[in-house]
């Protein structure tokens, strides 16, 4: 049975989308959070997923104790050092068409810049923020308001990320 560890710091909507997609397929899922009591923890409890509160400075120590087939960042607002990344394959989702708009507030950056398209990138995690090899990107047209654009980007995230994680677990490399 495949086993993944999903890292989340906040709302956990991508965590939930992945869990709801993969749990029925027999994938074992655990949640790691650096924010005690975050909404992702409530989502995990409702789904029957084991969660771990791990202060960021103790992440490497935690990873020494268990082995996972894939590490999935889903709104985990930390930069992972090489000492953590050595434990396996880490993937992340970012709400922009990388390499544009790395880091925080990417949708707002694209909207404010007057972009006509924005989107989502799933990529491998490296020490450099949002700079790993891109696994897949999808775009949408920017909507009239920032709120509408954010909503559409989040829908796209929830649609594509669970499928990509599933493909990676199955040994398939998603098409670019």
**155 Cβ partners below 8 Å, 6+ apart?**
none
Token pair for 2: 């495949």
Which of 21, 52, 94, 163 is labelled catalytic?
94
Span 140-160, mean pLDDT? Answer: 97
Per-residue pLDDT of 48-59, as tens digits, reads 999 999 999 999
Span 119-129, mean pLDDT? Answer: 97
User: Among this protein's residues, is 21 annotated catalytic?
Assistant: no
Residue 173 has pLDDT above 90, yes or no: no
Q: How many residues does the chain have?
A: 176
Domain ranges of the chain: 3-169
End-to-end CA distance of the chain: 27
The residue with greater pLDDT, 59 or 170, is: 59
3-169: in CATH 3.40.1710.10: no
């Amino acid at each position: 049975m495949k086993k993944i560890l999903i890292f989340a710091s906040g709302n956990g909507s991508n965590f939930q989308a992945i869990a709801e997609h993969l749990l029925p397929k027999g994938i074992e899922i655990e949640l790691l959070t650096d924010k005690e009591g975050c909404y992702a923890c409530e989502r995990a409890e409702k789904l029957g997923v084991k969660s771990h509160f791990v202060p960021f400075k103790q992440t490497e120590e935690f990873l020494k104790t268990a082995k996972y087939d894939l590490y999935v960042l889903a709104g985990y607002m930390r930069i992972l050092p090489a000492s953590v990344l050595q434990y396996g394959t880490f993937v992340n989702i970012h709400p922009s068409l990388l390499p544009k708009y790395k880091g925080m507030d990417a949708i707002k950056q694209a909207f404010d810049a007057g972009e006509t398209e924005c989107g989502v990138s799933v990529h491998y995690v490296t020490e450099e923020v949002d700079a790993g090899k891109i696994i897949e990107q999808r775009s949408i047209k920017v909507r009239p308001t920032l709120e509408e654009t954010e909503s559409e980007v989040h829908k796209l995230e929830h649609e594509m990320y669970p499928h990509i994680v599933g493909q990676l677990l199955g040994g398939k490399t998603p098409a670019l």
